[in-house]
Amino acid sequence: MALKQLASDLHMLPGLVNVYILETAEGLVVLDTGFPGRASKILDAVGSLGKTPADVKHIVLTHCHPDHIGSAAALKRETRATVWAHPLDAPMMEAGTTMRDGMCPSPGLRNRILAKLLAGKVATVEPVQVDRLVEDGDRPDFAPGMTAIHIPGHCNGQLAFHWDRHGGVLFPADAFANRRGLKLPVATEDPQLALASIAKLGKFDFDKICVMHGSPVMQGGAELLRQTVFDTFKKKG
Ligand SMILES: [Zn+2]
Ligand SMILES: [Zn+2]
């Protein structure tokens, strides 16, 4: 699918996992990389912006799952970009292991079926060297106005990002997806911690939510998340 422009300097490559491309004065930032085999698609998207692989300066990985880091090594090879991740997931990325044992399906039949289907499917990917570590509250300099938020639960080293542009943009990683409404991810390492992390995201102000799975929310994001946290996640998941 073709690259979609969400704001002047924010683009989304839609897919099973969305990949976001940010334009900064320094160059391009790629947020997550999709499953293995997606690097050429991402570079095509970069080309459609009139840029070259060398313009990609940063690759930011939200967590170690295979649908997010699968093409990171290939993309790093082509671009020589700096790779960013949380210290709890970086060792797994560097070993090419993608899942911790004991993932717990979220409530509902769909999640139970999908969790079973996906379990162990892509247990390893090409290892990728992480260059810069990002922790909770950091203001990483890959893009001005970005704040890192550590949101364990779905994955222990998972990072969300809040960007203070365009009325606020939240990149929630896999804290939740947008499938006709905000929904829990298929599975989590720790369901209680996952809910606490979602509540933590609800304290930020943002207009847009750039989910990794499903369609982005283009306005009223914080309000929608707060409403969902209280109405849905806590009751039925
Ligand atoms: Zn995930
Ligand atoms: Zn995912």
Q: Dump pLDDT digits (tens) for 178-201.
A: 998 999 999 999 999 999 999 999
- Which residues are in the CB-under-5-Å shell of ion ligand 1? 65, 174
Domain that holds residue 46: 4-236
67-91 average pLDDT score: 98
| Domain count for the chain | 1
Helix (H) or strand (E) holding 198: helix 191-201
Q: What is the CATH number of the domain that holds 59?
A: 3.60.15.10
Q: How much distance in Å is there from the Cα of 65 to the middle of ligand 2? A: 6
Cβ count within 10 A of residue 95: 12
Question: Where does residue 181 fall: left (phi above 0), alpha (psi -120 to 50 degrees), or beta otherwise?
Answer: left
Q: What is the pTM of this model?
A: 0.96
Tell me which residue of 71, 68, 67, 63 sits closest to 88, measured CA to CA: 63
* DSSP class per residue in 149-192: EE--SSSTT-EEEEE-STT-EEE-TTS-EESSSEE--SEES-HH
How sure is the predictor about 77, in pLDDT bands with cuts at 50, 70 and 90? very high
Q: Which ligand is nearest to the CA of 103?
A: 1
Ligand 1 centre and the CA of 50: distance in Å? 31
pLDDT in tens, 157-168: 999 999 999 999
> What residues contact residue 180 under an 8 Å CB cut-off, 6+ apart?
none
